[in-house]
A and B are shown apart, each in its own frame.
Chain A
Amino acid sequence: MKKKLVVIGAGMASGRMLEQLLATDPDAFDVILFNGEPRGNYNRLMLSPVLSGEKTYEEIVTHDDDWYAANGVDCRFGEPVVKIDRETRIVHSNKSSAPYDALVIATGSAPFIIPVPGKDLPGVVAYRDLEDTQAMMDTAGKDAVVIGGGLLGLEAAAGMAARGAKVTVIHLMGHLMERQLDPAAGYLLQKDLEKRGIKVHCKGATKAILGNDRAEAVLLEDGTVYPADLVCMAVGIRPETRLANDAHLEVERGIVVDDAMRTSDPHVFALGECVEHRKQLFGLVAPLYDQAKVLARTLLGEVAEFVPVQTATKLKVTGCDLFSAGDFAEGEGREDIVFRDPGRGIYKRLVLRDDRIIGTVMYGETGDGSWFYGLMKDGTDISEMRETLIFGPAFQGGSKLDPMAAVAALPPEAEICGCNGVCKGTIVNAVQGGAHTLDAVRACTKASGSCGTCTGLVQQVMALTLGGAVADAPAGMCKCTDHTHEDVRRLIKAMGLKSIPAIQQELGWKSVGGCHSCRPALNYYLLAEWPLEYSDDRQSRFVNERNHANIQKDGTYSVVPRMWGGVTTPAELRAIADAADKYNVPMVKVTGGQRIDLLGVRKEDLPLMWADLNEAGLVSGHAYSKGLRTVKTCVGSEFCRFGTQDSTGLGIRLEKLLWGSWTPHKVKLGVSGCPRNCAEATCKDVGVVCVDSGYNISVAGAAGMEVKETEHLASTPSEDEAVEIIAAFVQLYREQAKYLDRPYKWVAKVGLDWVKAQVVEDVPNRRALVERFEISQSVYRRDPWAEHSTPSETPKWAPLANLTLEAAE
């Protein structure tokens, strides 16, 4: 016959214990489950999100009727147990009774109610269960007072404020959450709460709750009175030990249990907040879950031992990022490392003793919390990294901030989900075993299934593990992010993001270091947005731009010197011919854009050849860049009998203005001296056709994969104005277009009329665009060849080592 197991209390600890037990051996026991609340097990931690309206009660149920039925659990909900008879081994509720072979007491805690007059009035609640939560949900538009500025009190306050209540928090101590935070972090927290309309009164002692039929106000010792339609007392909890006391089990502050979770009676076990283990009480779920595992094994006759570990605390108030672990009181032989960024409301503090972290408090930015926590738990000697320690794992070893570096740097045993004690390795294994969605990972590891604050971290571990192989179709700019190009551009500006790692960090990139499609785009967006501050990231450029030459199919390169407006001189031609000879260039070809292409150059010869060409006054033609390529011209009025204006001169002027500017895609111009259009200006990104009355500017043509005639943008009699309009158009394109959209694609998206309004009709706007363009050009109108053909740079283009030579000696 099966043994009978009776459980008192359907809370978080016993729920987990039953899961473990029934999963391991469903046939070991007949289970009877009593609960004081008229319902089964739900995720108590999630009452705060229910209170604030972010979740519904249904979403936080962990074991529903089906689960109990499927597992054959005899549920007696809403039946508080009133007596345990250890002689006869029978427990009694006021409705029924049940005999047991093994009994588990899991009655949790009772909230502490301060004994002030008025404490029993209707409208005074604790914060413990769904009933309390519902009372607090009904405070919209009313006055509420929370007594107690600890974790629970603040979650209650923030939740009610989110529901539209006017909330005051009264706290006895000098700063909020004094058990988890030091005064500085407490201050930041208070500021954040006040920003959302919550009033905080520290050093406030409650004298009485005033009211006739129900609570109306709270009176403090100093005479202050706060009106209150609802008073929530969240000043602490004490283990619920009454049943155990009455049954004469050994009880100190909690029900005393040994390492196997057995009480002083070998048939009676206990776990959860109601127990005391080696003089210690427990108020967070992480250790309770460990107890649950141990007790499940004990009940099955196995040997298991509960070893409590230090726990870290997080506050579940959306928008308040807080992490605290260990000991951070002042003391002998302790040192602090503190980092503050008042502007962003960030505070981090590490307490060290003997080169080891013994405590950490972080506010505002807590991403590195688990890394510090890991160092603290392992007692790692940090003397080597002391100088950069506070900046977190991303900065260790001198390498720069990389998104997810913090997560990547965590060892497999690092704890990711504190509530459930799930370490990184477990998540990685689950993902590799096929769990590719958050739900799947939750289902098989429980990670992020309790309080949920680690969800982001779990997702990062998943992304790291899945790498480029994430199956879901990307909606964003690439598989590394869900943000679109437009969003990213907007956020770079709005959030003042100034580096690729900063973007990836702040916008939650899902990969380590991005990929070949997002990095070049981000690099471009940054240099377009912050030309003076951002320094180009070479490694985020495609090979052609990184090497300032076009790569060919066989890995050789081509070199195209710039010929302004297509005009050259005999001296330049000689220099080009000499270079072609000297470096054995297999082909010399005239391009469609009126330049000379030297094809088939070896990479290591590039800087040498550039040095020679530079000496003759030639600079890079940027034939490889997402930038200005060429301005094609005809001979115009200088020589041609039809020419109306100096089209060659205008072409040269435009090229000298625009060269070196990086753009979302390549940009080509053409200037023709009359409508005969010998420069083919009407299929360029920007084309000018000169006429008797001046200049016809048209844009958004194409002659590549798509062939498209330009559209008329403006006509002007003045060359200066023509130049200004073109520069403004290019700058608008630089600021607005998605990376890799040619101007014709971008104009199709935004509409030519809008472009006209910006660069033709609105003259001050046009001038502002030109000004921004000039600012950028003050940095970028530069010859990249010159930078790379210096004696110190040249060797970097050659092989790193030649092991074939070594062998030949």
Chain B
Amino acid sequence: MTIFVDIAALDDIPRQGARVVKTGQGCVAVFRTADDRVFALEDRCPHKGGPLSEGIVHGDRVTCPLHNWVFDMNSGEAQGADTGMVRTYPIRVEHGRVLISAALVARSNAA
């Protein structure tokens, strides 16, 4: 079972935009679609590391800002002719708050 932690209000993320969350596993891009769904993806394009959080969001897809690879935010899979995959993380919205998988909260420096 996934445990979720509250990270922000939904309104802190612009519609068809994204914000970055720093986590123990690196930067995660948190996207909000035009119809208020949210997605959490690793903020690194598998092509040349572009920050997906700065891409243009269309429907439930995002286009990498560097060289226009397109990713399906549901699966993290590259679309069209490109092949590659971005990690996705559990995320959801409850009462206007964004909750993300607690697995992203890093434990204090490993003993």
- Let me know if A309 is at the binding interface, CB within 8 A: no
- Which B residues between 51 and 87 are near A, CB-CB below 8 angstroms? 51, 54-61, 63, 65-66, 68, 70, 72, 79-80
Neighbouring A residues of B49 by C-beta, 8 Å = 553-555
Task: List CB contacts (< 8 Å) of A342-392 with chain B.
Answer: none
Question: Which residues from chain A contact B70 at a C-beta distance below 8 Å?
Answer: 468, 515-516
A522-556 contacts to B, CB under 8 A, are 538-540, 542-543, 546-547, 551, 553-555
Collect the chain B residues with CB atoms within 8 Å of residue A512's CB: 34, 58-60
Distance in Å: Cβ of A416 to nearest Cβ of chain B? 19
Chain B nearest Cβ from A368, distance in angstroms: 16
Interface residues of chain B: helix, strand, loop or mixed (majority) = loop
CB distance from B21 to the nearest CB of A (A): 5
Q: CB distance A516 to B14 under 8 Å?
A: no
Supplied contacts A468-B70, A515-B58, A542-B56, 19 more A-B pairs, CB within 8 Å: A399-B34, A402-B34, A467-B61, A513-B57, A516-B56, A516-B68, A519-B56, A539-B17, A539-B57, A540-B16, A543-B65, A551-B51, A551-B54, A551-B66, A554-B49, A555-B51, A800-B13, A801-B22, A803-B7
Asked if A397 is at the interface of the complex by the 8 Å CB criterion, the answer is yes
Q: What CA separation (Å) do A681 and B30 show in the bound complex? A: 45
Cβ–Cβ contact B56 & A540, under 8 A: yes
Does B46 sit at the interface, judged by CB under 8 A? no
A514 touches B51 (CB 8 A): no
Distance, CA A519 to CA B16, complexed state (A)? 12
- A394 to chain B minimum Cβ distance, whole angstroms, is 9
A495 CA / B24 CA spacing, docked (Å): 52
What 1/0 flags go to A499-530 for Cβ under 8 Å of B?
00000000000011111100110000000000
> How far, in angstroms, from A800 to B104 measured CA to CA in the complex?
14
Chain A residues, Cβ within 8 Å of B109: 808
Tell me, rounded to whole Å, the shortest Cβ–Cβ distance linking A518 to chain B. 9
Most buried by B among A800, A803, A809: A800
Q: Tell me which residues from 5 to 60 in chain B have a Cβ below 8 Å from any Cβ of chain A.
A: 5, 7-8, 12-17, 19-24, 27, 30, 33-36, 48-51, 54-60
| Closest B residue, CB atoms, query A399 | B35
What's the minimum C-beta distance from A664 to chain B, rounded to whole angstroms? 18
Interface size bucket, B side? 35 or more
A319-354 contacts to B, CB under 8 A, are none
Least CB separation from A807: chain B residue: B106
A310 located at the interface, meaning its Cβ lies under 8 Å from any Cβ of chain B in the complex: no
The total of Cβ contacts below 8 Å across the A-B interface reads: 125
Instruction: State how many angstroms separate the Cβ of B55 from the closest Cβ of chain A.
Output: 7
Contacts of B16 in A (CB 8 A): 513, 539-540
Query: What is the minimal beta-carbon distance from B99 to any residue of chain A, in angstroms?
Result: 11
12 contacts between A and B (CB under 8 A): A467-B72, A467-B79, A468-B79, A539-B14, A553-B48, A553-B66, A800-B20, A802-B21, A803-B5, A803-B7, A803-B24, A804-B24
B107 sits at the interface (CB 8 A): yes
Could you tell me if A399 and B58 are in contact, using CB atoms closer than 8 angstroms?
A: no
CB distance from B12 to the nearest CB of A (A): 6
In the complex, whether A494 has a CB less than 8 A from a CB of chain B is: no
Find chain A residues with CB under 8 A from B27 CB: 799
Q: Is B108 part of the binding interface, using a Cβ–Cβ cutoff of 8 Å?
A: yes
A803 with B23: CB separation less than 8 A: yes
Interface centre among B20, B27, B49 (most CB of A within 10 A): B20
Residues in B with CB closer than 8 Å to A755 are none
The contact of B65 among A551, A800, A801, by CB within 8 Å, is A551
B interface residues, Cβ below 8 angstroms from A: 5, 7-8, 12-17, 19-24, 27, 30, 33-36, 48-51, 54-61, 63, 65-66, 68, 70, 72, 79-80, 100, 104-109
Interface pairs A-B: 10 shortest CB-CB: A516-B63, A800-B19, A512-B59, A543-B65, A539-B16, A516-B56, A807-B106, A543-B54, A801-B7, A802-B22
A806 contacts the other chain (Cβ, under 8 Å)?
Answer: yes
Are A807 and B21 in contact, CB atoms less than 8 angstroms apart? no
Partner of A539, one of B24, B56, B106: B56
With a CB–CB cut-off of 8 A, which chain A residues contact B58?
511-516, 519
Could you tell me if A515 and B63 are in contact, using CB atoms closer than 8 angstroms? Answer: yes
CA distance A547 to B55 in the complex (A): 11
Residues A402 and B56 in contact in the complex (CB < 8 Å), given A539-B14, A555-B49, A800-B21: no
- Tell whether A408 is near chain B: CB-to-CB under 8 Å: yes
Neighbouring B residues of A805 by C-beta, 8 Å: 22
Q: Is A116 an interface residue (CB 8 A)?
A: no
Cα separation A551 to B54 with both chains bound (whole Å)? 9
Residue of B nearest to A469 (CB): B79
Q: Are B59 and A513 in contact (CB under 8 A)?
A: yes
Report the minimum CB–CB distance from A778 to chain B (whole Å): 27
* A139-B12 Cα distance, complex, nearest whole Å: 66
A405 contacts B by Cβ under 8 Å: yes
Q: How far is the CB of B24 from chain A (nearest CB, A)?
A: 6
Asked, given contacts A468-B80, A516-B63, A543-B54, whether A803 binds B34 with beta carbons under 8 Å apart, the answer is no
Q: Are A804 and B23 in contact (CB under 8 A)?
A: yes
Closest to A516 in B: B63
The answer on a CB contact under 8 Å between A408 and B106 is no
Nearest B-chain residue to A397, judged by Cβ: B36
Q: How far is the CA of A749 from the CA of B33 in the complex (A)?
A: 38
Nearest CB of A to B105, in Å: 5
Please name all residues of chain B whose beta carbon is closer than 8 Å to the beta carbon of A539 when the two chains form the complex.
14-17, 56-57
Complex: A225 Cα to B86 Cα, angstroms:
76
B50, closest chain A residue (CB): A555
Return chain B residues, CB-CB under 8 Å to A511.
58-59
B33 to chain A, nearest CB (A): 8
Q: Which residues of A contact B72 (CB under 8 A)?
A: 467
- On whether the beta carbons of B12 and A800 are closer than 8 Å, the reply is yes
Among residues of A, the one whose C-beta sits closest to the C-beta of B36 is A399
A799 to B22 alpha-carbon distance, docked (Å):
7
A806 touches B105 (CB 8 A): yes
Interchain CB contact under 8 A, B68 and A408: no
Alpha-carbon gap, A526 to B6, bound state (A): 38
Name which residue of chain A comes closest to B19, CB basis.
Answer: A800
Q: Are B20 and A799 in contact (CB under 8 A)?
A: yes
Q: How far is the CA of A520 from the CA of B57 in the complex (A)?
A: 12
